[in-house]
Amino acid sequence: METTVAQVHEAMRSGRLSARELVETYLARIEAFEDKGPAINAIILVNPKALDEADRLDQALQKTGELQGTLHGIPVMLKDNVDTYDMATTAGSKSLQGYIPDEDAFIAKKLREAGAIILAKTNLHEFAIWGETISSMLGQTVNPYDSTRTPGGSSGGTGAAIACNIGIIGIGTDTINSIRSPASACSLAGIRPTIGLVSRTGIVPYSLTQDTAGPICRTVEDCVRTLDVIAGYDPNDDETAWSVGRQPVSYMPYLRPDGLKGKRLGVLESFFGCDEINQPVNDVMKEAMLCFEEGGATLIAIPDHIDSDWMIKEVSVHLDDFKTHLNGYLAKLRPDAPVHSVEEIIEGGKYHPGIEENLKTALQLDVGTPVYNQKLIRQAEMRTRIMKIMADHELDALIYPHQQQLACKIGSGQQQRNGVLCSATGFPSIAVPAGFAPDPQAPIGVPVGLEVIGRPFSEPVLIEIAFSFEQISCLRRPPAAAPALL
């Protein structure tokens, strides 16, 4: 059941599989794991034209003998804050229910041009505000490894769907933790690219200072295939101008099994918890460190104190940006859109009550205030601090657990997440499975993920590290709740 893009394309080239057959299989999996069975509750909307798109691709392959792009026929789970011209985009909120944008987001268009089939729009924490993946559109998405836990977030619908193999590649967005959190909680790989490598045009914003999109997949290789497609300059997103000249023709050559050999990796000690609740994660990370060394990397302890909780409160500008940046998106919607401002969202009351405090707090905040400007100064200082740590110790990357404790139980909030380090600096990060922590509620354990963070536009180095670690460790395991269909 752990299907990859390469396996699918091999079967298509040999005539053993058609795009229609593949889509039909995944529609059956959606029915089995969403409508029946474990009820993961990850899918907001299934593309009603998916089979038509598959038929078109099959006809093109039969006529030309060639796949129609690097993602020909591949079913995509797309987070429902990414605009699609043929399906509603709600950001998980009933306040936008039924609204179909005029155009695809830049990355959605790139995916389709590469031959991908957007099979479904996935659940998210409403407006991507927090990390438990609960929305007024769909309710709570559950973790397929432990139904009493959340799947991380805010891209938890994508994470849960990909973990259950009801899609082959997934797309999430990330403002603080939101690609790496579900990757960690669902035993997946996820790439948060350098700010400016991937366009945000047509994505419902949370904080354009920190927002980016990226892949969430079962393998590093499929993440890299997806990154190749969605990365690049977009004239409508000024930040992507920074990627020009810094993006290789393809990231695929950096999938090196020996990619750890000779690498110097800093272990950020302050991102490991010291209390009993942190022990399950620490135990998993201790074993994972051995795999880095087995691959030929040198681990260097970094004692510098960085407080991730302080960074979320005093360095990240997510909530400060929210009103201004979301209003900018909403104001451009057609006159028939249900809402055109955050104020109208609150007045309409069509949102999950769990985000009300965030919405009302955001109304009191804004960009350009003295508090906001001080946070931007701290972001610049943190960028320099990380660069200096890496320079002083001659490091290729830093590593640490994505979360200092296990993904939270449903009804609780995520605690001690470390992903803010790269989101508040704009640096790239890759999350990969580190292992599983035993738990009575989890048949094969609760997934734990680690992060590899590097300098701006150092994705090639991070891919070498993450892929080599993945190949040595082989830690990914599918959830018992989602077996292969007979």
**Tokens found for residue 192:** 């948060």
Active site residue 14: no
Q: CB count, 10 Å around CB of 381?
A: 12
All residues at 6 or more sequence positions from 428 whose CB lies less than 8 Å from its CB, including other chains: 191, 192, 193, 194, 197, 422, 453, 454, 456, 457, 458, 459, 462
Active site residue 18: no
Write down the catalytic residue from 18, 79, 308, 316.
79
For the CA atoms of 367, 373, 374, 375, what is the dihedral angle to 10 degrees?
Answer: 50
Identity of residue 428: P
Active site residue 79: yes
> What is the C-alpha separation between 179 and 331, in angstroms, rounded?
27
Write down the catalytic residue from 93, 154, 155, 199.
154
Asked whether the bond before 341 is cis by omega within 30 degrees of 0, the reply is no
Write down the catalytic residue from 93, 95, 178, 423.
178
Active site residues: 79, 154, 178
